[in-house]
């Protein structure tokens, strides 16, 4: 993971530089003692992880998070524990209180690595080829290969923030980086329906329908109010 250190205390920076140097999975790009100076670098470069002090004069770590366009993984480093809740509310991976022991630093890095690895295995353009209308399959990028998925074999698709899980009839799922909206547009003429902000289903595999749920392969999938009318119209219920 390419990382950056932002801390107004030179001694704290030196310690983190030493810690980063002990971890093979980390590549230190640069360090900053002023968060404002770091904004352009973060927005223009591929940075995966930031070690970020919260309490800095004039421009805090919280200010910095709100100012950047790209949002790398963040591990907060601070001498104060007062900001812990706010830090986690901003989606921080972890919150390290100074003085930071190496074992605690390493635990945070491993946590960040677990979050980062699935994303790094996925390409930005998940759909390898956009099928023409007559096609009955699509290829998606998953891990290090292009996987062919027949539309008929897809049970349902679950959205998970930055990526989706595509569940198939062989009791497996494919994890790929794509938005549900893009898949909804692609599959809307293929017998699929959006039933929830987190779910697209294959109507063909629906076993039963309740007022607010559908049953597919023993999985009860919610039907939200915002999609209920369009779904029921599509299946003519």
Q: What is the pLDDT of residue 8?
A: 92
Domain 127-234 belongs to what architecture? Beta Barrel (2.40)
Q: What is the pLDDT of residue 13?
A: 95
CATH superfamily of 2-120: Response regulator (3.40.50.2300)
Q: What is the pLDDT of residue 156?
A: 97
Dihedral of the CA atoms 227, 232, 233, 237 (nearest 10)? -170
What confidence tens digit (pLDDT) does each residue in 40-94 have? 889 888 899 999 998 888 888 888 988 888 788 999 998 876 654 555 556 788 8
Q: Which residue ranges make up each domain of the chain?
A: 2-120, 127-234
- Asked if residues 93 and 75 have their Cβ atoms less than 8 Å apart, the reply is yes
For strands 94-97 and 73-78, give the pairing: parallel
CA distances from residue 54 to 3, 33, 76 in whole angstroms, order as listed:
17, 12, 7
Cα 127 to chain centroid distance, Å, stands at 17
- Whether pTM exceeds 0.85: no
Task: Write out residues in the chain with pLDDT < 70, as ranges.
Answer: 81-90, 117-134, 143-144, 161-162, 237
Q: Which of 46, 41, 45, 39 is nearest to 65 (CA)?
A: 39
Q: What is the pLDDT of residue 237?
A: 66
Q: What is the pLDDT of residue 134?
A: 52
Q: What is the pLDDT of residue 65?
A: 87
Q: What is the pLDDT of residue 122?
A: 44
């Amino acid at each position: 993971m390419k990382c950056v250190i932002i801390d107004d205390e030179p001694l704290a920076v030196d310690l983190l530089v030493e810690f980063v140097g002990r971890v093979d999975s980390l590549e230190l790009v640069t360090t900053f003692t002023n968060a404002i100076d770091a904004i352009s670098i973060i927005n223009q470069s591929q940075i995966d992880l930031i070690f970020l002090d919260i309490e800095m004069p004039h421009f805090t770590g919280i200010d910095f998070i709100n100012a950047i366009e790209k949002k790398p993984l963040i591990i907060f480093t601070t001498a104060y524990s007062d900001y812990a809740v706010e830090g986690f509310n901003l989606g921080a991976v972890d919150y390290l209180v100074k003085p930071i022991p190496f074992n605690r630093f390493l635990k945070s890095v491993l946590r960040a690595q677990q979050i980062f690895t699935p994303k790094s295995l996925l390409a930005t353009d998940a759909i390898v080829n956009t099928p023409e209308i007559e096609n009955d399959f699509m290829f998606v990028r998953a891990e290090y290969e292009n996987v062919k998925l027949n539309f008929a074999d897809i049970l349902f698709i679950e959205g998970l923030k930055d990526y989706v899980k595509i569940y198939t009839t062989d009791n497996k799922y494919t994890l790929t980086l794509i938005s549900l909206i893009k898949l909804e547009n692609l599959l809307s003429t293929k017998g699929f329906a959006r039933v929830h902000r987190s779910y697209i289903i294959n109507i063909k595999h629906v076993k039963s329908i309740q007022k607010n749920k559908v049953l597919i392969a023993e999985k009860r999938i919610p039907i939200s109010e915002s999609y209920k009318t369009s779904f029921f119209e599509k299946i003519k219920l």
